[in-house]
Amino acid sequence: MAARVLRAHGAARAGGLLRQAAPSTLPPGLRSLTSSNSRPREDSWLKSLFVRKVDPRKDAHSNLLAKKETSSLYKLQFHNVKPECLEAYNKICQEVLPKIHEDKHYPCTLVGTWNTWYGEQDQAVHLWRYEGGYPALTEVMNKLKGNQEFVEFRKARSNMLLSRKNQLLLEFSFWNEPVPRSGPNIYELRSYQLRPGTMIEWGNYWARAIRFRQDGNEAVGGFFSQIGQLYMVHHLWAYKDLQTREDIRNAAWHKHGWEELVYYTVPLIQEMESRIMIPLKTSPLQ
């Protein structure tokens, strides 16, 4: 009996010491954050690092976060091109892809097509919209099998590629609808790999955060993955040039509330990547 009491007393004392010592054992960067005068922010930060709790949901996050007034599905394609073939690749894409985009028999729209400027090199990025969701995607795929020009295009393209991947996406309800725009612009595709179970949190925070990034009409579209690499979020932005991008991003930090939203969304991210992209001449997003 006495031994159990001593063990319990020792465990309680150790727990108290652990709670007192925890901030000082963190790395300097995190220690400065946990020393904030705001106790709720400290607790939220520590919980997000060590005690991840996923609230039970009664509906899929796709139903909670996606636009209800549309049933569009998006496909994002990444093609890594052989360096010596990039010019020829761009040429055949600009000849064939607009024809599919303009043909009313195909329920799809080419939203944008780019080459990566900064980020992964010799890469092409294509974004398609399928009006009508998965049935529209299936219809387009079946029709393209009988399109001899597209079949020849795919054969020629395959000889130019090192690798390719795609994702099927839905758009966040609170983001702008991506519509054609005049240029010249550069585009930034910011891609976030979220921790599983955090998509609802991300959506809740960004539903408020997006209002801080609308002044310069730079917000083009926001999407989250359904098939392919999961728990992926993509934000697409347009800027006049790299300096304008820097100025707009810095200005956001002077708006009250932006820093708090960044503070709470950072712990949700596992990895992130930024691509600066240049649109091809036939891209609807210029």
HSE-up of residue 159 (Cα within 13 Å, Cβ side): 6
**Cβ contacts of residue 74 below 8 Å, gap of 6+?**
111, 127, 128, 129, 130, 168, 169, 170, 171, 223
What's the Cα-to-Cα distance from 153 to each of 76, 78, 111, 125, 226, rounded to whole Å? 19, 17, 20, 17, 27
Q: Is the peptide bond before 27 cis (omega within 30 degrees of 0)?
A: no
Say what angle helices 148-158 and 134-145 make with each other, to 10 degrees.
90
Instruction: Write out the chain's pLDDT in tens, 286 residues.
Output: 444 434 444 444 444 433 444 444 444 443 433 344 444 444 544 444 444 444 455 555 555 677 664 568 999 999 999 999 999 999 999 999 999 999 999 999 999 999 999 999 999 999 999 998 999 999 999 999 999 999 999 999 999 999 999 999 999 998 888 999 999 999 999 999 999 999 999 999 999 999 898 888 899 999 999 999 999 999 999 999 999 999 999 999 999 999 999 999 999 999 999 999 999 999 999 9
Residue with tokens 């960004």: 206
Distance between CA atoms of residues 268 and 277, nearest Å: 26
Distance between CA atoms of residues 109 and 153, nearest Å: 18
3-state SS, 108-134, equals EEEEEEEEEEECCCCEEEEEEEECCCH
Q: Of 47, 119, 116, 123, nearest to 80 (Cα)?
A: 123
Whether the predicted model's global pTM rises above the 0.85 cut? no
Phi, psi of 135 (to 5 degrees): -60, -40
What's the Cα-to-Cα distance from 177 to each of 24, 66, 74, 111, 120, rounded to whole Å? 46, 12, 12, 10, 26
